[in-house]
Amino acid sequence: MSNEAYDEFCKASIPDLTTLDRQLLGHYATRFNENVIPPRAWPSRDELIRITGARTKSISRSLGRLARLTFLLRVTLASKDRGLRAEYAVNRPLIRSFIQVTDEVPEKHEVTDEVETGNSETPLSNSGVTTEALHGYPKPNKPTKPTNVQSYDRFNEVILKHVPIELRSTITAGKNLDTLLDELEALSVTTQAISNAINRITWTNVIKAGAIVAITLTALIEESKRALAREALEAERGRQLDIDRQEAEKNKASDEVRAHHIETLKETWRKQRPS
């Protein structure tokens, strides 16, 4: 299985990686063991230094960068006290998403020498220089994935890293999950709330993570809509109570003004009465 991971790495056109990043990612793909649980790779630091020729601090920075970009998924942390190595899982779905596919084939190429049909007295030979250069290989097609890097970053950060490692190959970013995440964002649901909902999933006997995650996000959307409806109802009730309170205060003020006016008239009338 490690050969398959390395083949995928070799076919992928991953931008914005340093030479050291590529060396380390390729070596982890070579060492990736999917026959252990959870699947992971654990080459020693000495081995990485021999392979890359880099210093240990440079290797640490590069591994941290690959982990932030989620090309490597951290399984265990290194510990000098307990003699533990840092173990990572190669994010094969993400690497596969950068594989470029092109279906163009050469349209035309030319034979250098004519071949005689009969038996020639002189030996036949191939010319060392072609009379016309081969053509028909235009630029490679753009990769079908990722069409939106931000969507993939969101998928990896909000969803994939909370899915058990052994199930991550059964879920991929796509339009359906993007639509659900967009709707949750429109409902002002935080990424932390989404991650918490995924963390509450019981993964026992789950075969395909994509289906259970989609169901969970759909349920969270419905719950958020009900919560917003309750908030809107409470806000409307509060607004109506404020209106009623203001009306009551106005009526109270009107009654006080009316009573004062009556008392003023009575006092004026008493003064005007002849003694």
Residues 183, 252, single domain; the answer is yes
Which residue, of 64, 81, 96, is where some domain finishes?
A: 96
The answer to whether residue 136 is domain-embedded is no
The pLDDT value recorded for residue 77 is 67
The pLDDT value recorded for residue 173 is 81
| Tokens standing for residue 200 | 């509450």
Q: Find the mean pLDDT for residues 137-154.
A: 57
The answer to whether residue 154 is domain-embedded is yes
158-214: per-residue pLDDT in tens? 888 888 888 888 888 888 888 888 999 898 999 899 989 999 998 888 888 888 888
- What is the sign, positive or negative, of the torsion defined by CA atoms of 20, 26, 29, 31? negative
The answer to whether residue 128 is domain-embedded is no
Residues 169, 273, single domain; the answer is yes
Specify the higher pLDDT residue, 115 or 234.
234
202-258: per-residue pLDDT in tens? 888 888 888 888 889 999 999 999 988 998 888 888 888 888 788 777 777 677 777
Residues 165, 242, single domain; the answer is yes
Contact yes or no for 20/52 (Cβ under 8 A): yes
The answer to whether residue 125 is domain-embedded is no
Which residue, of 37, 70, 96, is where some domain finishes?
A: 96
Which residue, of 63, 96, 129, is where some domain finishes?
A: 96
The answer to whether residue 121 is domain-embedded is no
Structural domain span for residue 55: 2-96
Which CATH number is 7's domain given? 1.10.10.10
Residues 158, 89, single domain; the answer is no
The answer to whether residue 101 is domain-embedded is no
Residue 119 pLDDT greater than 80, yes or no: no
3-55: per-residue pLDDT in tens? 788 888 899 989 889 999 999 999 999 988 888 888 888 898 999 999 899 99
Residues 48, 170, single domain; the answer is no
Nearest Cα residue to 182 out of 151, 160, 152: 151
The answer to whether residue 133 is domain-embedded is no
Residues 271, 151, single domain; the answer is yes
Residues 250, 152, single domain; the answer is yes
Q: Strands 87-90 and 72-76, how do they pair?
A: antiparallel
Q: Beta-carbon neighbour count of residue 132 at 10 Å?
A: 9
The confidence band for 78, taking pLDDT boundaries of 50, 70 and 90, is low
The answer to whether residue 195 is domain-embedded is yes
Our CA angle for 166, 100, 94, nearest 5°, is 25
Nearest Cα residue to 165 out of 60, 88, 66: 88
Count the domains in the chain: 2
CA 165 from chain center: how many Å? 15
Dihedral Cα 191, 194, 198, 201, nearest 10 deg: 150
Beta strands in the chain (DSSP E): 72-76, 87-90
